[in-house]
Amino acid sequence: MSILVGAETRVVVQGITGSEGSFHTRRNVAYGTRVVAGVTPGKGGQAFDGIPVFDTVAEAVRETGANTSVVFVPPRFAAEAILEAADAGVELVVCITEGIPVRDMAEVHSYLRRGATELVGPNCPGVITPGVANVGIIPGEVCTPGRVGLVSRSGTLVYQIVHELTRRGIGQSTCVGMGGDPVHGIGFVEALARFEADPDTDLVVLTGEIGGDDEERAAAYIADHVRTPVVAYIAGFEAPPGKRMGHAGAIVTGSTGTAAGKAEALEAAGVAVARTPSEVADLVAERLDRRATDA
């Protein structure tokens, strides 16, 4: 079992004929992902590496049964692309595009709340269930199938921490790059709820960073609802006070949103918090050994 993407995932790529869309479509197909359609307005009726291209997502869904969209569309068109996928009945949209205006995403967020479509991103690396499906830009070669879930605000830290886990022989159930923009789709709480319900996930790694309050809200949720062990890393312990760094969501106001404050909240909820990325794999191995012993 996995969360968000799996063997049943049928992908339509919005922007399939662009440079980014074409490059990552080929990588995802080579990984084994079922890419069944592409969308580029004005190029309907063509094909990309044998994949049919349509003018609209509605056509793609109707003709191929696509249930998941990945968006490689320029920022000024990306919000509209997400809404188009939702209107077509796509269950999950993974938006890789960065630089989408906050106002556009606020409107998207409000619209999606009224329907059944879920969003990962924007400004994210996507979702991968190792050995099964890769929807986005996460390098599949650093992943290996297993029983540790991961959710991260930082795309780069997805790659690094997954690589560290794989080197230790610790496989992953699903890895979710949620993105670091201030207005986004699925976040820590939603991912944690899914991992908690997944019988094939034994532990969850949560990777956060300075700014915002996503990690603090995750800590409160873990304390009340999560029994699966959680290990965390917060990027930014060495960030200069008052300095804005990294993602658009990495905004620190006074003592709110600091790495230390986030770590304190998570530790109070029983989460082991690493101080360096390389320490994450050590803490995961310790927690898994403890779980095996207790069982």
pLDDT band for position 291 (50/70/90)?
confident
Last residue of a domain, one of 70, 90, 120: 120
Residues 279-291, mean pLDDT to the nearest whole number: 93
Confirm whether 19 is domain-assigned.
yes
Confirm whether 130 is domain-assigned.
no
Q: Among 52-66, 91-105, 146-160, 247-261, which is the least confidently predicted range? A: 247-261
State the amino acid at position 239 in one-letter form: A
Q: Are 85 and 51 part of one and the same domain?
A: yes
Over 60: is that where the pLDDT of 54 sits?
yes
Could you tell me the CATH number of the domain that includes residue 39? 3.40.50.720
Residues 8-13, mean pLDDT to the nearest whole number: 98
Q: Are 277 and 160 part of one and the same domain?
A: yes
Measure CA 226 to chain center: 19
CA end-to-end span of the chain, whole Å?
21
Confirm whether 213 is domain-assigned.
yes
pLDDT band for position 258 (50/70/90)?
confident
Question: In angstroms, rounded to a whole number, what is the distance separating the alpha carbons of residues 136 and 156?
Answer: 13
Q: Are 111 and 144 part of one and the same domain?
A: no
Range(s) of the domain holding residue 83 = 11-120
Report the pLDDT value the prediction gives residue 11, as an integer from 0 to 100.
98
Last residue of a domain, one of 120, 146, 176: 120
88-116 pLDDT, tens digit each: 999 999 999 999 999 999 999 999 999 99
DSSP-derived 3-state class of residue 30: helix
Report the pLDDT value the prediction gives residue 49, as an integer from 0 to 100.
98
- Token code pair at residue 150: 């991961």
Q: How many other C-beta atoms lie within 10 A of the C-beta of residue 26?
A: 14
Question: In angstroms, rounded to a whole number, what is the distance separating the alpha carbons of residues 84 and 88?
Answer: 6
Could you tell me the CATH number of the domain that includes residue 151? 3.40.50.261
Last residue of a domain, one of 120, 146, 180: 120
Report the pLDDT value the prediction gives residue 295, as an integer from 0 to 100.
66
Confirm whether 4 is domain-assigned.
no
Confirm whether 160 is domain-assigned.
yes
208-235 pLDDT, tens digit each: 998 888 999 999 999 999 999 999 999 8
Q: Are 169 and 75 part of one and the same domain?
A: no
Q: Residues 255, 295: contact at Cβ < 8 Å? A: no
Q: What ranges make up the beta strands (E) of 137-252?
A: 145-152, 172-177, 203-209, 230-235
Q: Are 104 and 161 part of one and the same domain?
A: no
Mean residue pLDDT of the chain comes to 93
Q: Calculate the CA dihedral of residues 238, 282, 203, 164 and round it to 10 degrees.
A: 80
Looking at 113-212, list the stretches that DSSP marks H as alpha helix, in order from N- to C-terminal side. Answer: 155-167, 188-197
Distances in Å between the Cα of 169 and the Cα atoms of 125, 144, 162, 285 are: 23, 8, 11, 9
The residue among 78, 92, 71 whose CA lies nearest residue 20 is 71
State the amino acid at position 207 in one-letter form: T
DSSP-derived 3-state class of residue 167: helix
Over 70: is that where the pLDDT of 28 sits?
yes
Q: Are 242 and 284 part of one and the same domain?
A: yes
The residues annotated as belonging to the active site are 247
Residues 27-53, mean pLDDT to the nearest whole number: 98
Q: Are 75 and 220 part of one and the same domain?
A: no
Torsions phi, psi of 221, nearest 5? -65, -45
Confirm whether 5 is domain-assigned.
no
Over 70: is that where the pLDDT of 194 sits?
yes
How many domains, the chain? 2
Q: Are 68 and 187 part of one and the same domain?
A: no
Confirm whether 2 is domain-assigned.
no
Residue 280: its H or E element: helix 277-294
Over 60: is that where the pLDDT of 264 sits?
yes
Confirm whether 83 is domain-assigned.
yes
Q: Are 228 and 196 part of one and the same domain?
A: yes
- Token code pair at residue 286: 């310790």
